[in-house]
DNA sequence: TAAATAGTGTCTATAAGACACTATATG
DNA sequence: CATATAGTGTCTTATAGACACTATTTA
């Protein structure tokens, strides 16, 4: 065992979703000091008797604060040091998670109600956050934007079935640039990233669109940029 | 403060260098239980009174075990759980570091002398390692290989001045494939990754080669693959 | 048949791979 | 001048971007 004092060990989660404008992060009102009542990333201590590993801590935090059960979750980076937390030398293993907007709406008590336990804030209009949570959110957004250029990551912001136009729109909102329709479709289809759902189509007063699902339920990378 | 027990918090470092065959990792003989006398990654407890953050822990470990002062160092991943260390629930923030082979030769007591404190082992011929250190080395090698396809990372395995042929050779040994000379030179020069050292040339019984150095002392990424 | 969105064909620009060529040093 | 390595020119191939075109639905 360690004969000297050990860092405070926590896990923080950057839960991202897509709002009209673009990426948004879910923040929780802190129930305890330090920074009680302030908005911050959902997080918590690692419980060595309950959590198999830090990913389990992250899933437990997400279940408790946002009622989510299995969003796409990846480890981001471990932030550490003596000055980031007023309680002392601390270490936070940060994770990011992506969830379709629809799954958040079904969580009770959501949206920007004053004093609600949880709010969704666009990442380009973040308030000042306690600890180094501002830097953690920025790191998560940078990571998601860069991985989006060459992987299926943005698809985890959509529910099971989607049209190619919807998928392109999600990519565009995540990375913040417009993409050419023909190039996007070639790319996505050549990589067999998605599979058409036979017979499933979505329409309006126009030609109906084929519905697709991800070919693999897990993250898939492809070779070149979009 | 935490009212419950807290994980063991350590830092482990995957120190990589280039041997004739390819990438090699520096392993240290463990001085203490568990696994005393066994080869493992150099590592140590986080000292909250001495280390500013986990990167400082990693630098302290490298200085103590390999006498290195400022190699290229990046955080890799945080490994955690109740079963990876017989002492109990533990969390290891893993880093990887790259160092030119020449700087290791100057460290006293190195090379594969039996019972030496430190040995260099090719990553493709690793012995069984204690804890989950085998998985940590594999993760580091994967990360270095994939970043090498689009960044200046392999250059940190070379000392200050090098020829383009030497640089290409390092890239080839790291990623394990042959590269076309003309394409490689176009790529590296177009990205302004390196700067010629005026007047500096290296020769033999043939046309001498221009010597270069990295344009930026820090890691630089470029847009497309090699 | 107008409107709207789905989906395709094709030209161009860029960059990587292949590979042969020229350049310049030593012995 | 033979040899060895440095360094370049250029053809081919793959692919992203631009953009116009065709297809299919409802009202």
Mutate to test the interface with A, among B46, B59, B75, B88 (most CBs of A within 10 A): B46
Q: What is the DSSP string of A84-150?
A: SSTTSSEEEEEEEEE--HHHHHTSTT-SS-TT-SEEEEEGGGPPP-STTHHHHHHHHHHHHHHHHTT
How far apart CA A10 and CA A27 sit, in angstroms, is 16
**Coil, strand or helix at A162:** strand
* Average per-residue pLDDT for chain B: 91
How far apart CA B92 and CA B82 sit, in angstroms, is 12
Tokens for A96, please give them: 């990011």
Pick from A76-80, B41-45, B201-205: least confident: B201-205
How far apart CA A57 and CA A11 sit, in angstroms, is 7
CB contact under 8 A, B80 and A46: yes
Q: Tell me the H-state helices in B81-213.
A: 101-105, 133-148, 164-175, 181-190
How far apart CA A135 and CA A139 sit, in angstroms, is 6
Burial letters B182-209, b for 16+ CB under 10 A, else e: eebeebbeebebbeeeeeeeeeeeeeeb
The DSSP output letter for B125 is G
Q: Is the pLDDT of residue B114 over 80?
A: no
pTM: 0.93
| Average pLDDT estimate for B88-117 | 76
pLDDT of amino acid B222: 87
Q: Is the pLDDT of residue B116 over 60?
A: no
Q: Is A150 on the interface with B (CB under 8 A)?
A: no
How far apart CA B13 and CA B54 sit, in angstroms, is 11
To which residue do tokens 């697709």 refer? A212
Q: Which residue is nearest to nucleotide C10 (CA to C1')?
A: A182
| pLDDT tens track for B157-188 | 999 899 999 999 999 999 999 999 999 999 99
Q: Is the pLDDT of residue B112 over 50?
A: no
pLDDT of amino acid A113: 42
Q: Is B87 on the interface with A (CB under 8 A)?
A: yes
CB contact under 8 A, B1 and A88: yes
pLDDT of amino acid B137: 98
| pLDDT tens track for A165-202 | 999 999 999 999 999 999 999 999 999 999 999 988 88
Q: Is the pLDDT of residue B225 over 80?
A: no
| pLDDT tens track for B127-164 | 999 999 999 999 999 999 999 999 999 999 999 899 99
**Rg, chain B, Cα only:** 19
| Average pLDDT estimate for B24-38 | 94
Q: Is the pLDDT of residue B203 over 50?
A: yes
CB contact under 8 A, A9 and B78: no
Residue in A45, A52, A78 nearest the CB of B78: A78
Q: Which residue is nearest to nucleotide D4 (CA to C1')?
A: B206
Q: Which residue is nearest to nucleotide D8 (CA to C1')?
A: B182
Count CB-CB contacts under 10 A for residue A47.
17
The DSSP output letter for A37 is T
CA triplet B42, B44, B47: central angle to 5 degrees?
Answer: 150
Q: Is the shortest CB-to-strand distance from A161 to strand C under 7 Å?
A: no
Confidence of residue B55 (pLDDT cuts 50, 70, 90): very high
pLDDT of amino acid B70: 82
CB contact under 8 A, B4 and A78: no
A169 CA, C3 C1': separation in Å?
22
Q: Which of A140, A130, A50 is nearest to A95 (CA)?
A: A140
Count CB-CB contacts under 10 A for residue B145.
16
| Average pLDDT estimate for B9-28 | 95
Q: What is the DSSP string of A181-217?
A: HHHHHHHHHHTT-EEEEEEEEEEESEEEEEEEEESSS
User: Which stretches of chain A drop beneath a pLDDT of 50?
Assistant: 1-2, 109-115
Q: Which residues contact B194 (CB under 8 A, 6 or more apart)?
A: B155, B164, B167, B188, B212, B213, B214, B215
To which residue do tokens 């177009």 refer? B190
Q: Is A108 on the interface with B (CB under 8 A)?
A: no
Nucleotide nearest to A179 (CA to C1'): D17
Tokens for A220, please give them: 């898939």
pLDDT of amino acid A106: 56
């Amino acid at each position: 065992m360690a004969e000297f004092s050990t860092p405070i060990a926590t896990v923080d989660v950057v839960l991202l979703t897509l709002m009209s404008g673009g990426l948004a992060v879910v923040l929780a009102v802190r129930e305890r000091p330090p920074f009680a009542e302030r908005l911050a990333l959902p997080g918590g201590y690692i419980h060595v008797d309950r959590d198999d590993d830090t990913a389990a801590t992250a899933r437990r935090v997400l279940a408790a604060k946002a009622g989510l059960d299995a969003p796409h979750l990846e480890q981001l980076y471990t932030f550490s040091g003596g000055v980031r937390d007023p309680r002392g030398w601390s270490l936070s293993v940060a994770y990011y998670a992506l969830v379709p907007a629809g799954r958040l709406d079904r969580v009770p008590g959501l949206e920007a109600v004053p004093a609600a336990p949880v709010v969704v804030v666009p990442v380009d209009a973040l308030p000042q956050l306690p600890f180094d949570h501002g830097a953690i959110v920025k790191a998560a957004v940078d990571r998601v934007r860069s991985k989006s250029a060459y992987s299926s990551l943005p698809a985890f912001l959509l529910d099971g079935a989607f049209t190619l136009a919807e998928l392109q729109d999600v990519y565009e909102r995540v990375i913040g640039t417009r993409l050419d329709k023909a190039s996007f479709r070639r790319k996505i289809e050549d990589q067999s990233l998605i599979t058409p759902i036979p017979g499933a189509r979505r329409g309006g007063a126009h030609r109906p669109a084929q519905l697709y699902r991800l070919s693999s339920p897990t993250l898939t990378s492809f070779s070149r940029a979009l």
